[in-house]
Structure 1
Amino acid sequence: MKDFLKALEIQRWDDHRYYHHSRINQSLHLLSALSFVLAYLMLFKDPAVAALIGWLVSMTSRQAGHFFFEPKGYDHVNKATHEHKEEIKVGYNLQRKVVLMALWAASPLLLYIDPTLLGAFEPAEAPLEFVRQVGMMWLWLGVAGLLFRTLHLFIIKDVQTGLVWMSKILTDPFHDIMLYRKAPLHLLRGELIDPMGHAAERG
């Protein structure tokens, strides 16, 4: 258990110091984290609504931060190129995220083309019912994306790395709230980039 928690700490630290320099990205991660917590709570009451919140608010805000606001140049704090960081990324790097988000965006078309989705649903009789069915599709897409990368890490790394990464992903919303709760205040003060002094000191 001690090794597991240490590995989880390392994955969290690397994710923060490599991929969260932008205060806008950090603020969007705070929004994402808060909405993910809401989605977690809704999961027990209404899974379809939980998935709609998770994908339409949580995932879009989170990934927008990475795609549009996070610096892609040389990382002087960590002395690493963007390409190197993408290569060593444990979870979904930007290329993998493009694939995942493309599947998410295209998936409602499958339900439009085949209203039963190969027998998984009864054809929707109203727009709201269609939206709820899309929500259920997105829920299973999220589960599949999590399990696929976890199993992939089992193969290319080891079982512990995969389990640690899955644990990190599932608990990221709570950790991000603690980590980035002050990011909007920094942003309001005009600080677009976190100086990452703590990262430079820790190395």
Structure 2
Amino acid sequence: MTAFMDALRTQRWDDHRYYHHSRINQSLHLLSALSFIVAYGLLPVDPAWAALLAWCVSMTSRQAGHFFFEPKGYDHVNQATHEHKEAIKVGYNLRRKVVLMALWVALPLWLWVDPSLRGLIQPAANLTEYAHDVGMAWFALGVGGLVFRTVHLFFLADVSTGLVWASKILTDPFHDVMLYWRAPLHLLRGELIDPMHHAQAH
């Protein structure tokens, strides 16, 4: 268990120091984390609506931070190029995220064109039922994306790395709140980039 927790801390630290320099990105991660926590609360009540919240608010804000605001030049704090960081990324790098987000966009279109999913489900009779079906499809996509990358890491690295990553993803919302709750305050002071003094001294 000690080794597992050490590996979890390492993955969290690397994720923060490599991929969260932008204060806008950090603030969007705070929004994402808070909405994910609400989605977790909704999960036992209605997984479809939990998934709608998670994908429409949590995932879009989180990925917008990475795609549009996170610096992609040379990382002087960690002495690493953007290409190097993308290559060593444990979870979903930007290229893999494009695939995941493309599937996210494609699923509602597929359900609109084929409401029964080739006879797998009862076709929606109205927009509320359609939204519920989209939510369930997105819920399946989220679970599938988590399981796929976890098992993928079993083969790329080892079972422990995959399980640590899955644990990190599931607990990220709570950790991100603790890590980035001050980010909006820094933004209000005009600080767009975290100087990462704590990373430089690490």
TM-score (norm 2): 0.99
Question: Could you list the per-position Cα deviations for residues 103-158 of structure 1 after superposition, in whole angstroms to 9, with x for gaps in the alignment?
Answer: 00111111122111133321111111101100000000000000000000000100
Aligned counterparts, 1:172-191, within 5 A = 172-191=172-191
Q: What amino acid does structure 1 have at the position aligned with 2:19?
A: Y
Question: Could you list the per-position Cα deviations for residues 47-71 of structure 1 after superposition, in whole angstroms to 9, with x for gaps in the alignment?
Answer: 1110000000000000000000000
> What's the counterpart of residue 159 of structure 1?
159
> What's the counterpart of residue 30 of structure 2?
30
Aligned counterparts, 1:113-152, within 5 A = 113-152=113-152
Q: Which piece of structure 1 moves more, 166-175 or 120-129?
A: 120-129
| CA distance in 2 between partners of 1:132 and 1:78 (Å) | 44
> What's the counterpart of residue 76 of structure 1?
76
Q: What amino acid does structure 2 have at the position aligned with 1:183?
A: A
Q: What amino acid does structure 2 have at the position aligned with 1:82?
A: H
Matched pairs, number: 202
Q: State the secondary structure of the residue aligned to 2:201.
A: helix
Q: Any runs of at least 4 consecutive aligned residues in structure 1 with deviations exceeding 4 A, and if so which? A: none
Question: Could you list the per-position Cα deviations for residues 67-120 of structure 1 after superposition, in whole angstroms to 9, with x for gaps in the alignment?
Answer: 000000000000000000000000000000000000001111111221111333
> What's the counterpart of residue 56 of structure 1?
56
Q: State the secondary structure of the residue aligned to 2:117.
A: coil
CA shift, 1:187, in A, is: 0.3
Q: What amino acid does structure 2 have at the position aligned with 1:85?
A: K
| CA distance in 1 between partners of 2:137 and 2:158 (Å) | 30
| CA distance in 2 between partners of 1:9 and 1:120 (Å) | 42
Q: State the secondary structure of the residue aligned to 1:195.
A: coil
> What's the counterpart of residue 67 of structure 1?
67
| CA distance in 1 between partners of 2:143 and 2:104 (Å) | 12
Aligned-residue sequence identity (percent) comes to 73
Q: What amino acid does structure 1 have at the position aligned with 2:80?
A: A
> What's the counterpart of residue 95 of structure 2?
95
Question: Could you list the per-position Cα deviations for residues 141-182 of structure 1 after superposition, in whole angstroms to 9, with x for gaps in the alignment?
Answer: 000000000000000100000000000000000000000000
> What's the counterpart of residue 86 of structure 1?
86
Q: State the secondary structure of the residue aligned to 1:75.
A: coil
| CA distance in 2 between partners of 1:113 and 1:198 (Å) | 51
> What's the counterpart of residue 21 of structure 1?
21
Give the alignment's Cα RMSD to 1 decimal.
Answer: 0.6
Q: State the secondary structure of the residue aligned to 1:110.
A: helix
